[in-house]
A and B are shown apart, each in its own frame.
Chain A
Amino acid sequence: MGAALLALTAPAGAQPVGATDVPTLIAYEVAGDAITGPLGGTRGDADRGAKLVAERQKSLCVLCHSGPFPDPHLQGNLAPDLKGVGVRLSEGQIRLRVVDMKRLNPASIMPAYYGLPAGERVAATWRGRPILEPGEIEDIVAYLVTLKDE
């Protein structure tokens, strides 16, 4: 994508008034292939991000990605190795990829971590909720930018 394309995303805008659990996602600004500012305005904590990326139930990153994390034999190979991602991509580029990879590649298998579920038959527990909260996305971004060794 060439010149900075600005788009303002507030996916919850069209919800009917009166619904009790109207999901509200905070808006973010996309510039080119990046989201330059932190979601919600505050940068995250790299240590918490490292733990989140490595665990297997919530973030699920290691189901598809390998990287410099514990237990290499339990890491998937359906996606690029995250080693050196902090050199290949800027903080804002990493943020957009974690928030919504499908904006760059609609056919991607990587779930949009900060968006409303798009698949059919979403199970009740997960309905109307993003996979990760803004603070958790920021923790992960803060960690991934530190992965400089290629």
Chain B
Amino acid sequence: MRARWPALGLALLAGGVAAGEIGPSERRSGRDFMSAETRAMQADDNSNPGMLWVLQGEQLWSDPAGSKNLSCASCHGEATESMKGVAARYPAFDDASGKPIDLAGRIARCRTERQGAEIPAREGDELVALTTYVAHQSRGLPVAPPADERLAPARAEGRRLFETRMGQLDLACASCHDDNWQGRLGGSAVTQAHPTGYPIYRLEWQAVGSLQRRMRGCMVGVRAEPFAYGSDAYVALEAYLMSRAAGMAMETPGVRP
């Protein structure tokens, strides 16, 4: 294990030495960097705007849909029981496709194959609401990446992507979220980029959106071509971020600036 996190100034002056991964005891949710006001908004279900998406997802859960006219509840019963802890262990390995799948992809699969409905759009209201509702059933539970060796290549690829300098600004995710998480970029806290709150209500979006949408924002910020929604690359990044956040509490729906 590495020694104490060097002070930011030292990390910058050290020149050439990447500070590297964050030790388990130093992990902090994005929530801890927010203003007291935004934290309070997340903490109270009556003021957390993400709860509207949870309610919409709850409705969709029991609405029959598709050519089979089945609801999620027809097969899965009470989500509070059947979906408890599920989001905390995604992305998971998907036998059908022989590769890792993220939670939204998993839900989309049930929508098309089990209900016989149209493929839901990745950032569309319906899939975002269902994903938020399902992930909400894990709130408070620890992130628990499965001990499945078949996920190892995706986690390694996610880590490689996280540490690759991208875009015209030539910055890696790690340049900010591992090496400078204590700092401020313009007026914003950099944070450690933990995926614990997703899907989140983002004040800047005035809406709930996925982890992939959040990562897209950072890629566009460094002037890189973002990956396609649902791509293996994003699922790999998700798998790495979840392993990096193992044990931290799920917060869905998180609120972020």
Residues of A within 8 A of B (CB): 56, 60, 62-64, 73-79, 105-109, 111-112, 117-127, 129, 131
Contacts and interface: CB of A to CB of B under 8 A. Distances in A.
Contacts of A120: 164-167, 224
B220 interface: yes
B186 A119 contact: no
Contact of A112 (B170, B190, B220, B224): B170
Interface stretch (B9-17, B65-73, B125-133): B9-17
B183 A122 contact: no
Contact of B18 (A73, A107, A129): A107
Contact of A119 (B169, B176, B183, B190): B169
Interface in B162-178: 164-171, 175-176
Contacts of A108: 15
Given A106-B16, A123-B220, A111 B168 contact: yes
Interface string B2-23: 0000001000100111100000
B180 interface: yes
A126 B224 CA distance: 9
A122 B224 contact: yes
B16 to A, nearest CB: 4
Interface in B200-235: 219-220, 222-225
Contacts of B12: 78-79
A122 B223 contact: yes
A119 B223 CA distance: 9
A58 B223 CA distance: 11
Interface of B: 8, 12, 15-18, 164-171, 175-176, 179-180, 183-187, 190, 219-220, 222-225
A25 B166 CA distance: 21
A76 B166 contact: no
Contact of A121 (B16, B166, B179, B185): B166
Contact of B171 (A56, A106, A119, A124): A119
A56, A73, A121, A122: residue with the most chain B Cβ atoms closer than 10 Å: A121
A120 B162 CA distance: 12
The B interface is mostly helix, strand or loop, or mixed, namely loop
Given A107-B18, A117-B167, A119-B167, A63 B186 contact: yes
Nearest to A64: B185
B223 A126 contact: yes
A131 B17 CA distance: 25
A79 B175 CA distance: 13
A122 B175 contact: no
12 contacts: A64-B185, A76-B185, A77-B183, A78-B12, A78-B184, A107-B18, A108-B15, A111-B169, A119-B169, A120-B167, A121-B225, A122-B166
A64 B190 CA distance: 11
Q: Which 3 A-B pairs have the closest CB atoms?
A: A119-B170, A126-B168, A74-B187
A62, A78, A108, A111: residue with the most chain B Cβ atoms closer than 10 Å: A78
Contacts of B168: 111, 117, 119, 122-123, 126-127, 129, 131
Given A107-B15, A123-B167, A126-B168, A76 B224 contact: no
B37 to A, nearest CB: 16
Given A105-B16, A107-B15, A109-B175, A122 B186 contact: no
A76, A79, A127, A131: residue with the most chain B Cβ atoms closer than 10 Å: A76
A46 B135 CA distance: 53
Contacts of B224: 119-123
Contacts of B187: 73-75
